[in-house]
Amino acid sequence: MRFLYLFLFLGFFSANAQQHCGYDFSSFLVLHIHEDGKPENIPNLKVTLIDFFGNELVNTGNKYSWTHRSEVMTFYENYKIDSKGNKLTDDATEEKVRWFFPFAKATYIISITNEFPIEGIRAKIEDVSEKPTFQTQLINLYPFNMYVLCTTQAEKAQQFGARVNKPVNVVMKRRE
């Protein structure tokens, strides 16, 4: 009987210890890209991760992200969804609207692994429209720029003081 209680006791604590967060093993890079003095995120920019030499980072074998295997590491704009989780168009009239990633709001976002080698990695931001308005910018990225959403991972990633996930603030300059 003691063995049964011991087995149940160990099983209970083992099950509690193995609970995982939905974002385990993933972090995010979030960029708020806007003009000086304007809070709105600039839409339709091309934002890619590049290495120290300026080469686009390719997610070979899911080395850098658990999604988009063998593709260039490209940010996408966070978007709004309806109550069923479907992506909304700009003209949608759904009442229960929320951001797909509520922690990111209107920003550019990319999912990366927690072991992402961020030192020496930069974000390249380009206006690739027919008539570009903004200059291309290169932004250095640092370990404290990574959003770590699970509490156990956030505790490991904590630097000094309280860790606050904030988007990287990028102010774009207009072409002259």
DSSP of 8-67: HHHHHHHHHHT---TTTTEEEEEEEEEETT--SPPPS-EEEEE-TTSPBPB-GGGSS-SS
Residue 49, in any domain of the structure: yes
C-alpha to C-alpha distance for 33 and 45, rounded to whole angstroms: 9
Total number of domains constituting the chain: 2
pLDDT of residue 144: 86
Residue 54's domain comprises 40-75+110-176
* Same domain assignment for residues 167 and 102: no
Q: Which residue has the higher pLDDT, 73 or 16?
A: 73
Does residue 169 contact residue 32 with C-beta atoms inside 8 Å?
Answer: yes
Q: Would you say residue 23 has pLDDT above 80?
A: no
Q: Which residue has the higher pLDDT, 138 or 144?
A: 138
pLDDT of residue 91: 66
Other CB atoms within 10 Å distance of the CB of residue 10:
10
* Same domain assignment for residues 120 and 64: yes
